[in-house]
Structures are given as structure tokens and as C-alpha cells.
Structure 1
Amino acid sequence: MILEMKVPSPGESIKEVEIATWLVQDGDYVEKDQAIAEVDSDKATLELPAEASGIITLKAEEGDAVAVGAVVCLIDTSAAKPSGDAPKAEVKPVAEAPKAEAPKAEEKKVAPAPEKTYATQAPSPAARKILDEKNIQPSDIVGSGKGGRITKDDAVNATPSMGTPTGGSRGSERTKLSMLRRKVAERLVSAKNETAMLTTFNEVNLTNVNKLRTEFKDAFKDKHGLGLGFMSFFTKAVTRALQLYPDVNSMIDGDHKIAYDFCDISVAVSGPKGLMVPVVRNAETLSFRGIEAEIKRLAIRARDGQITVDDMTGGTFTISNGGVFGSMLSTPIINPPQSGILGMHNIIERPIAVNGQVVIAPMMYVALSYDHRIIDGRESVGFLVAVKEGLENPTELLMDNNPKKALEL
């Protein structure tokens, strides 16, 4: 029996996918549920599992755009599984036929090169002075004087060489962008062109966050099997600030504003196929443990290529942590149709003034990019100040003055 395998729908709005990589070859025997291909949609890269066991016949090439529901391969389910490698037939060498002598090409007459003399590429005294000032070697210039001598005019008109290849590699490679990368590029350009995007900055003293992590991270790890990272503190600070400034948690739909009473936080993570932005649902209701567990789950799915369209659909606000790559300061781009994104950066110990004294503190620059069409300066600055306050006073503002209870210890 020949089974036709069709492209399943990765999501409601997706009409087409692209064959990124075939994981099997034409004529291979495949097992049921074995991953046979990776397909790119405009939202994620997904694995295509075999629907049955048998011999596979491919019907699409890598890089082909295929409509959802189209046949991409055939599986002969009646084919028996090979028990082992069949013995290869002995190949006898075949005597090589004598090659016919190629006809000699008609010799072309080449004009003789001009005879070199002692004057060839020898600069005149005036030319020598000019070349020395320009740091140009006489061997890099063709002289126009008698016998190839370099004249003053040759030296005046000479320009320094921009460099000559000296045996190093100068190759290049042209590869097609994946459908996911093309969609990301399209969305980023759209966000720049279709929103009135501005960015406001602030800095955060993370001394108190570091103290809490140092004091409780071991107990947190022992109790929950999770690391107590910065993302849970930032997510808690962001959800608190979003509730204080709800316009930052809203978005534009035509002539209307859609405001949300929940905080679905998109968290930008780096996966093998590029940037992924899975969503932590109802983050305002989650504890520190719940946030750390959900972020870990989504990060593992992104790393293993198991992230789904549903994991990345929605989101009312985004947090992007460029600090893990060493970024000191940046202006993150809004993740449409959202209206705001918070950029985290690296933590640097810097001297700051505290109560009239200079102290060294772990400081981080934070940036809020926002759509000025719906968020005014008062809301944007107030939101970022609220995030700063939550991170600088975490025990009071994020833990209700009870860190052990907040961390479920």
C-alpha cells in the first residue's frame, strides 16, 4: 500500500511551509514517527514525522515552498524492512579506452612585451621623493617615461594600493534564508516602518537582587530543582509595572486600542534556528518558581527545535535579554502588534553615588522601546521607573516583605 504523506497544518493562519532539510534519502526505509524532515513556517521550524513504516519516495526538494495539505512524499507500507546491508556485487575494472589526441589549437600570435631596460620602473629623483612621501613602492607603478621610467607626473597621479590578495581565502557562499528568518526580517522592517517607535533608558542597581539570589539560590535549587535567575525578578518587576501603567500592556488595532487585564510576557530566546519568542502566559499570577519553571521549559523546547506556533502566539509585552551576549546598551525593536519591549543588558560593576558616598555597585542599563502612537512619554518613563523601583527594592515591592514565602521555601 502506498501512503501519501501530506503537509499538516502547523497553525491556523499558516498556508505554506518550506522544506528546510530532508533527514532521510529517497529510497530509505523509515520507521513510524521517525523524523523525516524539518519544515519552516513563518513562525517556527518543525519536524515532520513519518506516518507509517516503509520505503520512502520524496516528492519535494529542499528549499521548495509547499502548500499545507500538499503531498511531500510517498511511503510504501508493504515494503519489508531490510535485514541488513546486501552484499555488493564485485566490480571488475574495465580497461580504459585510449584517449583520442585532442587537435592542437591554432597558435595565436602574441605581440612581444616591451623590452625591459635599466630604466624600467626606476623613478626619477623628483618622482622618488613624491613616492616616499606617499609610502608607495616603485614596483607598484607602471612608468610612462622612456624605457618605462617613472616620471614626476606618474608619481603625482599614483594612489596607494588598497591591498592585494596574498594567498588568503576570498571565497563566499550564497544560501537562501529560511522562511522563519525571512518572516522575522519582514516583521522587523514592518515594526520600524509602521510604528512611531521611541526608546527611553534608565539604569538599575542590582545589589539587592544579587543579595537575595546569593542568600536563597541554594535552598531554591534544593527545593524546586531550578536556578533562581534574573529573569524571574525582571518578569515580576515588569508585570507589576504593567499593572501600574496599563497603556504599555495594550496595542493598536486600526482605530481602536485593545487593553488587556492579563500579562502574557514574550521572552526572547536564542535557538538553533534563530531568535524565538515563546510566551509565558498570565505571568502576573505566577510565583518566582512558576516563572523560572516555565522559562526553562520554553528554553529547552526552543533549543531542541520542539517549539510550536502555539508557544509563540500572542503575548502582550516582550522582554529581551541581550546582556547574556555581552550587550551594554541597545534599542530593542518592538515585537508587533505589541506596543512595548524591555531590553536587558550586561551587569557591570561601576562607581555610583549612594547617600553622598562613592560605592561600587552591579549596574545594568535597561531600555524600553515603545509605540508613541499609543504610549505617551509619561507612561513610558513611569513604566521604566516602576521596573527600576521593583528591582532595587525587590523584598518590599516584589516579595511583600517575605522572601521565603515568595520563593516557596
Structure 2
Amino acid sequence: MADIIVPELAESITEGEIVRWVKQVGDHVEKGEFIVELETDKVNAEIISEEAGVLTEILAQEGDVVEVGAVIAKVEAGGAAAAPTPKEEPKQEEAPKAEEPKQEAPQAAAPVVEETTSNDRVIASPAARKLAREKGINLSEISPVDPQGRVRVQDVAAHGTAPAAAPKEAEAPKAAPAKNVDDSRVEVVKMTRRQQTAAKRLLEVSQSTAMLTTFNEIDMTNVMALRKRKKDAFQEAHDGTRLGFMSFFTKAVTAALKKYPAVNAKIVGDELHYNKFYDIGVAVATPDGLVVPNVRDTDRKNFAEIEATIAELATKARNKKLALSDLEGGSFTITNGGVFGSLMSTPIINGDQAAILGMHNIVSRPIAVGNEVQIRPMMYVALSYDHRIINGQESVGFLKTVKDLIENPEDLLLES
């Protein structure tokens, strides 16, 4: 018998939520075959079977939160779907084999299992096991509400508090009508694990950093003209890779980070760590929320390599195929709300980084050029930064450097 265990995925990931079981009890599985999908804080992981055989037990249901190292299923090598049944039943009732199909058999089996099995044999969610250990409760003594006999957190919490259960049951009918009324006006949808984690971390960032935002505007005339002249030749020369604005901004940000190293730093304890690498996170919108995969070593990549990498990461993100290595270790982030029509925003710093650049919609506006007023394509840009690391002069200088390089793309080519 082989255990299916939640594997270690990364140091920062300690648990995940079961999204779906690809295999069910009784199904044959091959060694290395994908049997269950786990949603973690960052990515969806596919857990495989390390043994070929038959899936005999599922110990965690879809929607359950399981910890790394928890046993969530069992596979019997070379076994058959019904293999566990004849092994257990003869030990409990060897004589009345002919009566097993009758109604008395399942009624007699329940108390026997509770008396003879240990905590490890009782079917329970990992959270229920943890709470039972903390309370010193034997899981076999708990009467679960689940008709399939699965012990959940609510069962453990309610164990030994029977007298208090009556008022709770009496209150339930009162809550039901209100919920039914609300259902006609409010749709209640449980947040995904990734949405919960993002909400928690964004709140932590806003509460644990001295975050400020500075703004500037960029005249996109020259970079748009250059892109228009070169995009067809660029696409033909680089196997269909399109020349977008993200590569220009990524290279401009990289050059500005070299000039202002504090923007590429982070706080670790009572130390400032100045990153000497340039891994730029690019925010990608997916149906499950925003994810930020990283374009590695942007100082060593050309425009085509950056554009191809961004396109690849965006496709992986939307197909839920990002690996943890795609998401970890970024030093700076760019987010482009302009693709959705945003004119201006104050982006929130990503993780333990020092700053984030927000791009916005390109809008034709009247601008004073010398002594004339001209209509130019303009973009507002915003730099949100941690004032504990970056002072005002550095933040303004950084954003001004990005502006100057985008407005003079020939200089940007020389910088890269």
C-alpha cells in the first residue's frame, strides 16, 4: 500500500486546496500518473502517484485544505478496487458472511470500526486531525455529521458540547429565510485560495510599508513612430514575435534600476539588500486574478527575447501552467492597467520589493510643445515605492529616467 502525500512545493507554500480528483476510488493508476489537482497560494500543482496500482482510498475531498506532508489517498500496488473490503470484513464478522448484503451488516460495522481503528484509520480532513490533536480527542470517539462517516472540523469542535448544540440548531431555521431572501439579490461565491492569498498579502504590504506614489507623463510619439516603422520587419526577423510597448518599458526600467539601485533593493531584518540582478515581474490578468511571473535577467535580453518571454508567460498564466520558478524572486514589477482603459492608478508594491511601475492608457491630449499646442499621444505613469528604502529624489529621478528613455527610444537602444 502506497500513500499519496502532498509534496513539498516551495518553502513559502505550506498547504493547498484540493481542486479536483482526476482519479476515483477503484480506478487503476500508473506510476507517475496525474491523479489530483492542488491549488496553492501561487500555482496549481498536479500530484502524481509514485506507485502503479488501484486507488483504494481518498482521504481528502475536493475543497479541503491539506498541509504539505499530509496523506490524501492510498494506492494498492497491483490491487483491485474491492481488495480492501474482504480483508477487513472477515476480521469483524467472519461467521455471518451470507448476511453481509442485509441491512444489519452496515449497522453493525459502524461501531466496530470506531472501536477498533486508530486516529490514522479514521477518515478525517487534515484540519480536523490537527484540531483533534490540539484538544486531545480520539477521532474514533467522534460521531460525524457526514453520512459517509468523514470527520470534519465542525465535528471535532462540537464533540463533548452536546448541551450547547440545541440552541444552535434552533437558530438555524431563523437564518435560512434571510439567506434565501439575500440569494435573490446577492450572489455568494467563495474566494479561491489564490484570491484569498492575494488579498491577504496586498493588505500586509499596505500595512507594513511606507508606500508613496509619484507620477509623471510620457509623450509616446517617438516610440510609437519607431514601433510603427519597425514592427513588420521585427516580426519577420524574430519568427512572428510582435514588437510591443512592454519591451521598451522593461528595458527602460532596467536602465533606471542600474542608475538608482535603491529601487532594486529590499529590506531583510535590519539590513538593506541591493539586488545586482534584474528580474522584472510583469503583471498578467487571468480569470482567477492577477499573477506576476518574472522575466529573468532583462539586462542580458534583447527586445525580441523579452517580448517572446512575456508572451510565453502570459499564455502559461492563462492556462494555469506557471511553475513556481516563474513566480519567485522578482526584483521589480511592471503592471499595465492601460490595456483595460485605466487613465491613472496607484499600484500596490508586489511582495517584498521596493517599488512597482504602473503604465496606463495612451490618450491623445493637447500638450505645449515649445510655443505651440499640439495633440500628442500621452501616457501617465505611476511609481509606487517604499519610502523606507527609496527617498523622494530617487523616486522622482527613477521615473524621470524612464520617461526620458521612452521619449527618446534611440537612447534606449544605446542603453540596452
TM-score by length of 2: 0.71
Following the alignment from structure 2 to structure 1, what is the Cα–Cα distance between the partners of residues 356 and 182?
43
1:391 maps to 406
Match of 2:197 among 183, 208, 229: 183
Deviation (angstroms), 1:300: 1.8
Is 1:45–1:180's contact at 8 Å kept on the other side of the alignment? no
1:152 maps to none
Is 1:20–1:178's contact at 8 Å kept on the other side of the alignment? no
Q: CA distance change for structure 1 residues 286 and 194 in 2, over 3 Å: closer, same or farther?
A: same
2:244 maps to 229
Following the alignment from structure 1 to structure 2, what is the Cα–Cα distance between the partners of residues 303 and 51?
29
Q: Relative to structure 2, which stretch is displaced further, 72-81 or 243-252?
A: 72-81
1:58 maps to 58
Which structure 2 residue ranges, 5 or more long, are not aligned? 82-180
Following the alignment from structure 1 to structure 2, what is the Cα–Cα distance between the partners of residues 323 and 340?
19
1:267 equivalent to 2:264? Answer: no
Is 2:211–2:386's contact at 8 Å kept on the other side of the alignment? yes
Deviation (angstroms), 1:37: 2.7
- Give the 3-state SS of the residue equivalent to 1:336 in structure 2: coil
- CA RMSD, 1 decimal: 2.3
Q: CA distance change for structure 1 residues 372 and 20 in 2, over 3 Å: closer, same or farther?
A: same
Match of 1:375 among 383, 390, 393: 390
Deviation (angstroms), 1:14: 2.1
Match of 1:240 among 243, 255, 270: 255
Is 1:200–1:381's contact at 8 Å kept on the other side of the alignment? yes
1:7 maps to 6
Following the alignment from structure 1 to structure 2, what is the Cα–Cα distance between the partners of residues 267 and 192?
20
Is 1:271–1:302's contact at 8 Å kept on the other side of the alignment? yes
Is 2:294–2:328's contact at 8 Å kept on the other side of the alignment? yes
Q: CA distance change for structure 1 residues 296 and 383 in 2, over 3 Å: closer, same or farther?
A: same
Counterparts of 1:253-292 in structure 2, within 5 Å, are 253-292=268-307
Q: CA distance change for structure 1 residues 326 and 59 in 2, over 3 Å: closer, same or farther?
A: same
Query: Can you list the C-alpha shifts for 1:43-79, whole angstroms capped at 9, x where unaligned?
Result: 2222234445554342211221212122222334525
**Identity, % of aligned pairs?**
51
Q: Relative to structure 2, which stretch is displaced further, 275-284 or 375-384?
A: 275-284
Higher helix share: 2
Is 1:46–1:305's contact at 8 Å kept on the other side of the alignment? no
- Give the 3-state SS of the residue equivalent to 1:398 in structure 2: helix
1:336 equivalent to 2:345? Answer: no
Following the alignment from structure 1 to structure 2, what is the Cα–Cα distance between the partners of residues 37 and 174?
26
Query: Can you list the C-alpha shifts for 1:355-379, whole angstroms capped at 9, x where unaligned?
Result: 2222222111100000111111100
- Give the 3-state SS of the residue equivalent to 1:209 in structure 2: helix
Following the alignment from structure 2 to structure 1, what is the Cα–Cα distance between the partners of residues 281 and 349?
11
1:360 equivalent to 2:412? Answer: no
Following the alignment from structure 2 to structure 1, what is the Cα–Cα distance between the partners of residues 48 and 381?
42
TM-score by length of 1: 0.72
| Matched length | 315
Following the alignment from structure 2 to structure 1, what is the Cα–Cα distance between the partners of residues 354 and 6?
34
Following the alignment from structure 1 to structure 2, what is the Cα–Cα distance between the partners of residues 360 and 33?
61
Following the alignment from structure 1 to structure 2, what is the Cα–Cα distance between the partners of residues 240 and 361?
25
Is 2:26–2:80's contact at 8 Å kept on the other side of the alignment? no
Is 2:367–2:374's contact at 8 Å kept on the other side of the alignment? yes
